[in-house]
Structure 1
Amino acid sequence: MTEEKLQQEIGKEYVFPKKDDNKPVTEEIIKKLPKVELHCHLDGSMRVETILEEAERQKVKLPADNPDKLKKMVQPGFDCKSLVDYLKAFDITLSVLQEEEALYRAAYELIEDVAKENVKYIEVRYSPILHQKKGLGLVDILEAVLQGLKQGERDFGVKSGVIICGIRNIDPKYSMKLAELSVAYKNKGVVAFDLAGAEEDYPAKEHREAFQLVLKNNLNSTTHAGEAYGPESIHQAIHYCGAHRIGHGTRLFENGDLLNYVNDHRIPLEICISSNIQTKAVKRFEDHPVRLYYDLGLRITLNTDNRLVSDTTLTKEFMIAHEYYGFTLEEIKDIIIQSFKSAFIPYREKRDMLRKVIKELEKF
């Protein structure tokens, strides 16, 4: 591909030539494809072995002391009843993420894990305020994670950025503190501000001052919305909080006018299929709107949400997209390109990354 042609492709929605829609899609092929992950929670993506080892080191009592039993407790599976039920697993993971050494380790190991499936770039999100039970300061918590990610990049070649999360069901004044921290670390590893946590009864608009601070300082933002609550939640995320991306957006299809707005303004959706089934945002795999969204032209990205809690990988999520919704290899490559375009990284860096990714994808 010539430089001129490449620049043209980067500037538009890239669609690979439909050479053969029947080309087999296998886990081996998907694992080798260059990928990007934009919605991944640090405290939901630890290794079970790490939780056990850190609990022993820190003298933290866990509800189980062997890998098999603990795994069952932190992986609710598809029998999970709701988002609130799903979030219970985080009580366990957070119990061992209250020291700098543990935060560094979790961040580093996450980079090592994603490198094994050829993830080139990942945005890791978490809320520093949930890691203060032993008195750590917000800056110390953030620095520990950033250092772990940077060491992971040096060792495994995976670039990363941090998304700091405000929490819906915690007083909005703490969201403001986290927004201030995000702004202070803009261009120092933090790429965006987010709002996570229990969605129903905790509207995003209550946290709009934090988002206004972020937007005034030209920092990116995303918001969990349309997962456990309807399109109104997405409406608030966009029009009250100025979200540049939407986390999940599962129920966007319930409001056609808002869906068209999201589509027209190319607001990316951070889709997490397995997680959506587990939290009962969608009852069955067959009911998930991901295929509809793609066919309508929305910019979608596929993500794990929580690698441990959802017992998944990015490779698994793409295989689910293929097996349940018929995504072909060419469509999967198209989604990968959309995901890279949706990343919160500077244009020039994104352009260079896309150049390499497109060339790599064309080999498949």
Structure 2
Amino acid sequence: MPHTIPLEVIEKLPKTDLHVHLDGSLRLSTILALADKQRVELPARDEDGLRKHMNLGQNCGSLVEYLKAFDVTLRVLQTADALTRTAYELAEDAARENVRYMEVRYSPMLHTRRGLKLTAVVEAVLEGLRAAHDKYGIESAVILCGIRNVSPESSLEMAELAVAYKNRGVVGFDLAGAEYDHPAKHHRAAFQLVRDNNINVTIHAGEAYGPESIHQAIHVCGAHRIGHGCRLREDGDLLHYVNDHRIALECCPSSNVQTGAIRDLASHPIKLYKNLGLRVTVNTDNRLVTDTTVSKELWLCSKELGFTMADLKAVILSGFKSAFLPFHVKQQYLRRVSEELKAFPDHAHDAPPAPVSSAVTAQQPAAQGAQTIQIVAKA
């Protein structure tokens, strides 16, 4: 197996994170601070206690068990200030490892327990992401989620919200939540609405259920990307359809081990998918719950699956190709990022280049990408 590429080298690479949940990516210190401010009861009053209770980074055995950690995070994400702060901190953490473009997903309906309006939830998150862009230069967009195990009517309401915020920071619609026994086809009205409005679609599928879930996501709901897709390898015909139509896979390796979707990292299908030519991207899923970063996920691909620097560069470029961005904006990103990646040698024993300054990144965003953010800021 090739030599593992050092984490500190991978941290310098420009990257995307296309599959990251806001409510699964808080800082432990922030959960405690928000709970104290809001007088919210938590199962523990210190970081170590919370880490153990939430099984952070540990194998949960199933997606349902994995999702229990969100019972804690959602307790403190019921005010506009909390949503703005956590969105800002997520973008800040991503910028520190040179993530250039990020799509943050969440379901506004889960943040209304204290009476917050759905529109206020969306505005609060966008405010935090704009503030991080202004300081760090990281461009972020939002994907709103319906929830499989909640009513189709609620998903339709989230779809209406996505339509209202199209071109104002929201770039896509997703279906998340418990996959087994909650088929995507039950939510087809929501997907019909967003597709009628030319909104991008990504759907969690093939994680806790088989290829049929991916088939539904694509052929019934019109998904342009698939979240996870671990079990796509069980249906060769569908796999080649996904490949032929360049339907990107949002792979989250560590999370897939944690939920029991795959046995261990060494058996993750991402290497097979990449070798077959599928458009694979590497993402965090949940920075807190999975205890990871984009850099760590790429490092694990190198360590456990033998990805070379050339492999990592290809995956990184797939991330920019698969972003829910206008075509010409993606072209600008790809030209600039391709040039940057040339500075990193394909051989692990060669000396890595000097780190890219975040200040330079902030001062030199893609022209049209910057314009997109400014439009959001004025909305």
**TM-score, length basis structure 2:** 0.89
Name the CA distance, whole Å, in 2 between partners of 1:22 and 1:135. 54
Aligned residues: 344
Deviations 1:169-192 (A, max 9, x none): 000001001001001100100000
SS at structure 2 position matched to 1:87: helix
One-letter amino acid matched to 1:297: G
* Match of residue 260 from structure 2: 280
Name the CA distance, whole Å, in 2 between partners of 1:289 and 1:352. 31
* Match of residue 354 from structure 2: none
Structure 1 residue 76 displacement after superposition: 4.1
2:188 alignment partner, one of 182, 189, 208: 208
1:157 alignment partner, one of 128, 137, 143: 137
* Match of residue 50 from structure 1: 30
Name the CA distance, whole Å, in 2 between partners of 1:322 and 1:23. 8
One-letter amino acid matched to 2:267: D
2:337 alignment partner, one of 357, 360, 363: 357
One-letter amino acid matched to 1:100: A
User: Given that residues 227 and 248 in structure 1 are in contact (C-alpha distance below 8 angstroms), is that contact kept between their aligned partners in structure 2?
Assistant: yes
Name the CA distance, whole Å, in 1 between partners of 2:3 and 2:204. 35
* Match of residue 73 from structure 1: 53
User: Given that residues 75 and 308 in structure 1 are in contact (C-alpha distance below 8 angstroms), is that contact kept between their aligned partners in structure 2?
Assistant: no
Name the CA distance, whole Å, in 2 between partners of 1:267 and 1:336. 16
Q: Which moved more, 1:216-225 or 1:79-88?
A: 79-88
User: Given that residues 101 and 139 in structure 2 are in contact (C-alpha distance below 8 angstroms), is that contact kept between their aligned partners in structure 1?
Assistant: yes
* Match of residue 296 from structure 1: 276
In structure 2, list runs of 5 or more residues that go unmatched.
345-379
**TM-score, length basis structure 1:** 0.93
Deviations 1:269-315 (A, max 9, x none): 00000000000000122221111001010000000000000000011
Name the CA distance, whole Å, in 1 between partners of 2:59 and 2:135. 38
The reply on whether 1:218 has 2:179 as its aligned counterpart is: no
Q: Percent identity?
A: 59
* Match of residue 12 from structure 1: none
Equivalence map 1:1-364=2 (5 Å): 25-364=5-344
One-letter amino acid matched to 2:149: N
Name the CA distance, whole Å, in 1 between partners of 2:73 and 2:13. 30
Name the CA distance, whole Å, in 1 between partners of 2:8 and 2:61. 32
User: Given that residues 45 and 306 in structure 1 are in contact (C-alpha distance below 8 angstroms), is that contact kept between their aligned partners in structure 2?
Assistant: yes
Name the CA distance, whole Å, in 2 between partners of 1:164 and 1:100. 17
Deviations 1:213-236 (A, max 9, x none): 000100101000000000000000
Structure 1 residue 22 displacement after superposition: 5.9
Structure 1 residue 74 displacement after superposition: 2.4
Name the CA distance, whole Å, in 2 between partners of 1:226 and 1:108. 31
In structure 1, list runs of 5 or more residues that go unmatched.
1-20
